[in-house]
Structure 1
Amino acid sequence: MEVFERKGYRKLEEWASTSQGTTALLVEGARRVGKSTLVEEFGHRNYRTCLTVDFSKAPNEVLEYFRDLRNDLDSFFMYLSSFYGVELHKRQSLIIFDEVQLYPKAREAIKQLVADGRYDYIETGSLVSIRENVKDILIPSEEESIRLDPMDFEEFLWALREKPLSTAIADSFHQRKPLPDLLHRKAMRLFREYMLVGGMPQAVSAYIKTHDFGKVDRVKRTILKLYREDIAKHGGTNKLRITRIFDNLVGQLSKKEKKFNVTSLGKDAKSRDYDDAFFWLSDAFITNDCFNSTDPSVGLSISEDHSTVKCYVADTGLLTTLALADSATTGNSLYRDILLERIEINEGMLTENVVAQLLRTSGHRLFFYSRNDRENPDNRMEIDFLITEPYKHAAMKHRVSPIEVKSSKRYRAISLDKFKNKFNKKVGTRYILHPRPLSVEGDIVKLPLYMAGLL
């Protein structure tokens, strides 16, 4: 698979320069998000040698090294080096434990290996914190962790060799000046392509090589099949509930109000019975949960209501495939018609989902604000997303910034005014993300959708 420039690479560099062998790094992320490719590329570029133990393929002989030789590290490294044919050099070699969740004892050994100090260690894994993968081990305190998300829009542009455009978009955002019309139209076209393709590296690679959405769709269906298999294998007693949520994601997100209605899963379904199932999907990086912050302030999580959740698909390209999964395959022509707006698809669903994806990728936890007051219409409002950021009119102190997402060029944004009136000094810059060019009207900044990841 093609190796793409990823922002996660910088995080690996930061870890290596600050850790200096005092910690190992765990890279978590969804299946097929590019963890192994990224880490191996980092290892080969930055170390004299790089040894990878892939626990999805490691024979029992290698597993025995971890079981029998943990107290004899000289022999452990000698046998490991010999088996994989990689010479290890003190402080110049990286050892990678790939798919470490498949052999938790290797993760537990990190404490001793780091204390030994000879080499650096990076682990990669999915589902690393589900009960069966941690129940019999002591999680090492010497382990740092980062998450790797699907490629964001900027990384997608890099992969398409459109780095100058990504630079122009960033400059436009920071200077609060719109792109020229020609560049804006190009950016919006590529952003629509991104929503259909998504950010899973295999899907992006297939698109770059073929520009055939049908072939990209087949890649995404394979990934979705893996997710279903993971649910069946690792979902435990909750696998039926997890499957029900997964199968209802499109239906829930296609509604005007995106809040997940648990009662739609069955007449006896209760929110509290599904808490673990929602957590499982989020912990597997399959979904991004967005909670209602009932009394928004700088600490949005203080008032988060876990009984009210919007459940977005972590990769919008996968959501597109789920939405078009009525038949066994979806051909290139149907995707092209959607891209060129010849056929209508639920734009609101895809647009809000991709904004959630890009906000999460840029480091924000996801919150929204919703209030339904039958007696006082002024209190009735729905704000798609909330973030906190420095506000220039408050001496750069953090304030709550409400974000409204609009998929069409014609809209109203009454809720933003209601939110400002209700929470007053708690509120900072208000944002509208829409298909139009950037514009500023007082404390309302209207950004084109392709700038969502810069917030």
Structure 2
Amino acid sequence: MERKIVNRLIAWKQSAKRMPLVIYGARQVGKTYTALTFGKTHYKNTVYFNMEGSSEVAAIFERDLNPERIIRELSVKSGQTILKGDTLIIFDEIQACERALTSLKYFCENEPDYHIIAAGSLLGVALNREKYSFPVGKVDMMNLYPLDFEEFLWATGHRELCNLIKEAYEHFTPLSLHETAMDLYKIYLVVGGMPRAVSEYVETKDFDFVVAAQKMLNDAYIADMAKYASPQETTKIMAAWASVPAQLAKENHKFQYKVIKSGARAYEYETPLDWLKTAGMINKCVRITEGKMPLSAYADNSSFKVYMMDTGLLCSKFDIAANVILSGPTSFNGFKGALAENYIMQALVTNGFTPYYWSSPGKAELDFVFQDKQGNIIPMEGKSADNVRAKSLKSYISLYQPYYAIRVSARNFGYENEIKSIPLYAMFCIKRN
């Protein structure tokens, strides 16, 4: 599967200021596959070491962190000559070997011409630091997310449709294939962007196989909880994780601890929620009290919404059948809104934004507010259908007079009353960088 991160990897390879690179992210988002594919495509040879699966490799880093000795022994272990600039060295599951992660500092300082990519669980890299510090300032870092909708279209053979969507966004003219794009967007909601689920869909077009893959991914995350947390913490983390669909099913999506269990308190579940966020499994959207710069200064961290990192995993946790999403009854429209919100949040985070939501002392509540690349504070309202009444958005515009506002919905591209109408399938076009 083609991933957008490859362009950033090429830039990293060519950079004169290149440092060892850590690719991090949630489990099963394609870190190892991406690194290996990049190595085989852009280097003369690639040497791969799984830090979790070999005690011999881990032992190489125990004696000292001298890069010359480490390279010599890694060459013997791999049976290949490791050449500066021509060989890509991949340390997979780097979180399993603290000394290997620390060694990246010494490669940066003493042997910067070796090209090293370390891939690791975001959670393990962040938490598994018992004796040695993280090499802050001595590594480049990239976060890999699940496939976004554009990458999904590439994987399913709709690259030309991507180009048409981007042209329509650039010129802000209606897309003639609007219905086709909307149908594919609905399929993406069900399948999501986890590579294994996408692969099952591409190969079989059978949603039963997709759901089976998603269930296995969920089991893998639960196994991770037990691996990195104590039994007592694991119980709370699992309860918080299990509550996310129910939080989104409420009319008001603000996170409520009582949904986890009756009588639950914030102090009991703040750490489990931070754990899930650190693991890349959820995205938090914090409330702001004012739509002013800087947004973080007006954040109310006690009020927030929680979204899952992938709509496909959300659908599978809710046991929502594919046909309900693709052509569901009107009785399902309420949750379609929550699903669309989750998708929009996921797209904004993937594209480099830090989204907030806004609510006034009255009843107005706006789904998303973020800062664009020009520094403008942009309000955004999300709708799952083409009914676009936007009282909250209009209230925000009246109060703060933003440079422009965005409504994301099932409608085609358009512009009226200083509101840009952007179809749901075009979220990948809204980029920070």
**Fold shared per TM-score above 0.5:** yes
Match of 1:50 in 2: 46
Aligned mates of 2:99, 2:350 — CA distance in 1: 30
Paired letter, 2:349: R
Map of 1:408-447 to 2, 5 A cutoff? 408-424=385-401, 427-447=402-422
Distance, in Å, in 1 between the alignment partners of 2:125 and 2:359 is 31
| Superposition map of 1:253-272 within 5 A | 253-272=248-267
TM-score (norm 2): 0.93
Q: Deviations over 1:112-158 (max 9, x none)?
A: 22322351111111113443x12311221311111001000001111
Aligned to 1:362: 351
Contact persistence 1:24–1:110 (CA under 8 A): yes
Corresponding residue of 2:322: 335
Between the aligned partners of 1:401 and 1:211, the Cα distance in structure 2 is 38
Q: CA deviation at 1:439?
A: 1.3
Aligned partner letter, 1:52:
Y
CA drift at 1:422: 1.8
Moved more, 336-345 or 149-158: 336-345
- Give me the whole-angstrom Cα distance separating, in 2, the residues matched to 1:186 and 1:27: 34
Partner of 1:98: 92
Is 1:350–2:335 an aligned residue pair?
Answer: no
Counterpart check, 1:403 vs 2:390: no
Separation (CA, whole Å) in 2 of partners of 1:280 and 1:191: 30
Deviation, structure 1 residue 81: 1.6
Shift of 1:23: 1.1
Specify every segment of 5 or more residues in structure 2 that has no aligned partner in the other structure, as ranges: none
Residues 1:113 and 1:411: Cα distance change in structure 2 (over 3 Å): closer
Which amino acid letter does the alignment assign opposite residue 436 of structure 1?
A: R
Q: Which one of the candidate residues 282, 289, 292 is aligned to 1:297?
A: 292
User: Which residue number corresponds to residue 151 of structure 2?
Assistant: 155
The correspondence of residues 210-359 of structure 1 with structure 2, limited to 5 A, is: 210-236=204-230, 238-324=233-319, 334-341=321-328, 345=332, 346-359=335-348
Aligned length: 424
2:196 to 185, 191, 202: 202
Instruction: Report the AA paired with residue 119 of structure 2.
Output: T
User: Which SS does the other structure have where 1:398 is aligned?
Assistant: coil
Shift of 1:235: 2.7
Give the counterpart letter for 2:117 in structure 1. Answer: I
2-structure distance, mates of 1:402, 1:207: 35
| Aligned equivalents of 2:68, 2:413: Cα separation in 1 | 61
Out of 11, 30, 33, the residue aligned to residue 34 of structure 1 is: 30
Q: Greater CA deviation, 234-243 or 361-370?
A: 234-243
Contact 2:19 2:112 in 1 (8 A): no
Aligned to 1:134, the other structure's residue is in SS state coil
Identity %: 30
Q: CA deviation at 1:44?
A: 1.4
Give the 3-state SS of the residue equivalent to 1:164 in structure 2: helix
Letter matched to residue 309 of structure 2: A
The CA deviation at 1:267 is 4.3
Q: Any conservation in 2 of the 1:272–1:307 contact (CA below 8 Å)? A: no
Q: Distance in 2 between matches of 1:101 and 1:19?
A: 27
Deviation string 1:239-290 (CA, Å, 9 cap, x unpaired) is: 2322121010110011122111113334442224422222111111101111
1:332-351, Cα deviation, whole Å (9 max, x unpaired): xx423532336864211211
2:111 to 105, 108, 116: 116
- Equivalent residues of 2:88, 2:115 under 8 A apart: yes
1:202 Cα deviation from its structure 2 partner: 0.9
CA distance in 2, matches of 1:421, 1:320: 36
Deviation at 1:451, TM superposition (A): 1.3
- 1:169 maps to 165
TM-score calculated relative to the size of structure 1: 0.89
Q: Aligned to 1:146, what secondary structure does the other structure show?
A: strand
Task: Report deviation, 1:54.
Answer: 0.9
State the secondary structure of the residue aligned to 2:408: strand
Q: Deviations over 1:100-120 (max 9, x none)?
A: 011111101112223223511
Structure 1 distance, partners of 2:5, 2:307, is 22
**Displacement of 1:47:** 1.5
Secondary structure at the aligned position of 2:116 is classed as: strand
SS of the aligned residue for 1:437 comes to coil
CA 1:50–1:315: 2 relative to 1, 3 Å: same
Report the alpha carbon displacement of residue 430 of structure 1 after superposing the two structures with TM.
Answer: 1.2
Let me know the Cα RMSD of the aligned residues: 1.8
Work out whether residues 94 and 125 of structure 2, in 8 Å CA contact, stay in contact via their aligned partners in 1. no
Q: In the aligned structure 2, how far is the partner of 1:336 from the partner of 1:292? A: 34
Matched residue type, 1:253:
L
